[in-house]
Chains A and B, each alone.
Chain A
Amino acid sequence: MRRYTLYAVAVAAVVALFGLWLTAPWRGAGPRDATATLQAPSIGGPFTLTATDGSTVTDQSYRGKIMLVYFGYTTCPDACPTTLNSIASALAELGPLADRIQPLFITIDPQRDTRAVLADYVKAFDSRIVGLTGRPEQIAAAAKAYGVYYAPYKTADAPDGYLMDHTSVVFVMNEEHRFVATFTQDTPPAQMADRLRRLIAKTS
């Protein structure tokens, strides 16, 4: 009997403590904070890839720079050129501030996008955009870090018989390479430039 009372007190104490914890002011704003701390670090991470000049690059190669990370492929006629165009326009609008930014175009179609093809492609938009390729497993690892999906879609009408389905999102990573925002192909360049200007003002 006494033992049961002891149990009851213990259970009551645990319940009470849990209640206190739930209502505790140090828990902050609740779900919003939880999102910020739980989700933000899940986008981005280390990668090892090859630049168009053949050199090996990692995320650390761009340390201290804001990264714009975009995955695509050069045979893509619509989404990729539209997005890269917008990035190029935003860089132009930023003027010298663009030096703080490193845009990366990572191919998800290394079979067709050789270093030469990739180099020609990115420089047509802006010479500051770096084209990256790599071994299939390196690209897969980079894509996984950014939560990027890609898969071939076979169709006889496409060049070489396939198109690529892929996540078409620009990931904005701050100078510490923490995820801060996304742009899409619908984001007007002026809006991209504004967002980047604010990010630069915050970190300088």
Chain B
Amino acid sequence: MADANSGWSRTLLWGAVTAILYLGVFAYADDVIRFARTTTDACVVGAGAEAVYYSKPTPEACAEKGGTMVQGNWLLVFLPILIAFAISYVHGAFTSNFWDSVGLRAASKKK
């Protein structure tokens, strides 16, 4: 019984951390998109959720669209890698504990 309880406690703990990470990504979804789209120079038309990103921009074409030129930063490419790693690790631990707590386990012997 104590084992089952500690299993669920672990599951809830990993679940809470997973939820926080996901909430973080989606609360800042506009920034997440902006970072993804500006690893190279871009022309941004509009703002927030409505922003449209053009790649390979020229100042003239960008001005014609009423957009703003943004200088690219290639280091931003590491951001999705770090976030994907963090979420994958935490969420993986959560789901593994979840199925264990629910009682779903692999068969002891393959047929």
A and B are interacting partners = no
> Residues of B at under 8 Å CB distance from A?
none
